[in-house]
Chain A
Amino acid sequence: MPPLLEVKNLQTHFITRSGVARAVDGVTFSLERGQTLGLVGESGSGKSVTCSSIVRLLPKGSGRIVGGEVLFEGRNLLDISENEMRRIRGSQISFVTQDPMTSLNPVYSIGNQMEEPLRYHQGMRNHGQLHAKVVEALTQVGIPSPERRVKDYPHQLSGGQRQRVVTAMAIECQPSLLIADEPTTALDVTVQIQILRLLKDVQKELNLGMILVTHDLSVIARTCDKVAVMYAGRIVEEGPIDEIFARPRHPYTRSLMRAIPQIGRKEDRLYSIPGQPPDVRRLPQGCPFAPRCPDVIDRCTHEAPTEQFFGSNHRARCLRAEEMGAS
């Protein structure tokens, strides 16, 4: 059986006035049912564009998928018609988006919005049936007194509750893949933990494949099976999380780890990676991380690193990956 999701050499570019932005530039990874993949990287590294490309919903006009394959259960989503793609969105591949305060339509009731996936994907028309399904989904995500909430409007709910609603909406049609793009960034810290736990719970319960995008490696450590680190539109390191945390092979991954705040660590200042991520419209020759890399050598500035494999599922894109593991 083919893996749930296999992204191969995906390339998504933005044609802008100031040049072509290679937002996603040859991304490859795969995901099985029941697995959670964490996607990390600094702002602008291409995490969201990667996720949007999987369901082909890029900002209109400028964004274009220019190469690669997105194999979902063996079928290349880049080849199917827009109508077939639409039927997959929200039924087999669902999203939990970043900001629950703005993700729900303010002029329709929770019930109305939650009925949509059922109407459009399962052709359900019967009011009683729809209502029962919606209440069931709301109960599943832990919304108290769901019977009443159905009639409420988004502005009557708290941020955490809204994110639960968005999650409920995402799992109504029993998807096999759930993509959560920074699902907790806009929420209070205590609520963040609840929502992450909720996502993890539904993921287990429905045996979903999940992609969890975050800036926060500590979140990844708690929730994911494997992690892909993105830099300037590429995956620079990928592997099972215990592997990556025990033996990070890429200096960028190591820097990200140093930047995690840890209780009891002696440093008085939080480490942050010096410099700025590169402009994806003008990528340097050689390794794009070289200008900021603490372990840079001469070769890095002119020779583009290729992927090196360590075991069957740990790979890193660094000329010095071999030595890095040893230290």
Chain B
Amino acid sequence: MTGYIVSRLIQTLVTIVGISVVVFFLARLSGDATALLIPPEATAEDREALKESLGLDDPLPVQYGIFVKGIITGDFGDSFRFGEPALDVFLDRFPNTLKLAAASAVVALLGGVSVGVLGAIRAGGFVDRLTTVIALLGQAIPSFLIGIMLILFFAVELRWLPTSGMAGPKTFIMPAIASAWYSMAALTRMTRSSMLDVMETDYIRLARLKGVPERAVIWKHAFRNALVPILSLFSLQIIFFVSGSVVIEQIFAWPGIGQLTIQAIFSRDYPLVQTIVFVTSTFLVLLNLGVDLLYAVIDPRIRLA
């Protein structure tokens, strides 16, 4: 157990260092920031002065050192565009993205798991066939289309829900469903097949032979065994919920990091881009670590290995 945790912690740390390197150099590769920050008629001296004031004339390793020191002290520099600390600009928006991501994750997980389990225990039945078709459709239709269809139907046609923006629980419904849709379809299929595999095993048969009620056979004996592949898929999807929100946020005018990222990239706002990418990636890596530790809780063979 300790060995498993320690090795996962080390892996996580290495990954975070890797992210910092990649983030730093990618931002530098994307072009000259000063080109956008000053008017075209500025002189070469003006340009140099600006570079110096932004710390862009130092050698790259020095710049990287400053960047790392900033990460540790929580100082990511000021956003070129907003003139405020980049971290503050980011943290202003990030919770909105997280709230939406969490809502989508809950929708996808609850929906995918319950429909998947239902399909597995009624394999071949009507409900199973129907959900298989829906799941296939879910994976074939892009999420922005789902979003637009939802808006047309529930906001424009029926006027049940607000079209866009973020204000109160109602506004979460459509964007959460739109961004959960694809993942939910994938989770449904994964849950169904994983449960079907487990239901065929000898230990499920023995549980029934022992007189365990069917409900406990499914949720206690089968589901926990089916959970590891479901969770692996889900942990990949978490990334998708957070970073893939760009499109959904655009459609629903959601005040999250999706829009902010696009703006930051187009204006070559290095500090902000770095902050967004680094903090978001680190957050996701830590979430993944959490999921890996969860495997150990679920499966004693991992815990005790």
A residues bordering B, Cβ < 8 Å? 55, 57, 61, 86-91, 94-95, 97-99, 102-109, 116-117, 120-121, 153, 155-156, 166, 169
Contacts and interface: CB of A to CB of B under 8 A. Distances in A.
B299 A107 contact: yes
A155 B301 CA distance: 7
A120 B301 contact: no
B270 to A, nearest CB: 48
Nearest to A85: B211
Interface residues of B, number: 24
A10 B95 CA distance: 66
Contacts of B220: 108
B211 A86 contact: yes
A116 B212 contact: yes
A14 B201 CA distance: 20
Given A89-B208, A166-B206, A169-B210, A105 B304 contact: no
B209 to A, nearest CB: 4
B169 interface: no
B298 interface: yes
Given A106-B225, A120-B212, 17 more contacts: A89-B208, A90-B212, A94-B210, A97-B205, A97-B209, A105-B203, A106-B203, A106-B301, A107-B224, A107-B299, A107-B300, A116-B212, A120-B211, A121-B211, A155-B300, A155-B301, A169-B210
12 contacts: A86-B211, A94-B210, A99-B202, A107-B299, A107-B300, A116-B207, A116-B212, A117-B210, A120-B210, A120-B213, A121-B211, A155-B301
Contacts of A107: 224-225, 298-301
The SS class assigned to the B binding surface is: helix
Nearest to A121: B211
A86 B225 contact: no
A97 B224 contact: no
A55 B205 CA distance: 12
A105 B225 contact: yes
Interface of B: 124, 201-203, 205-214, 216, 220-221, 224-225, 298-301, 304
Contact of A153 (B211, B216, B304): B304
A116 B209 CA distance: 11
A31 to B, nearest CB: 18
Contacts of B224: 107-108
A121 B212 CA distance: 9
A153 B304 CA distance: 9
A142 to B, nearest CB: 20
A106 B221 CA distance: 9
A61 B123 CA distance: 9
Contacts of B221: 105, 108
B200 to A, nearest CB: 9
A90 B300 contact: no
A91 B211 contact: yes
A85 B206 CA distance: 15
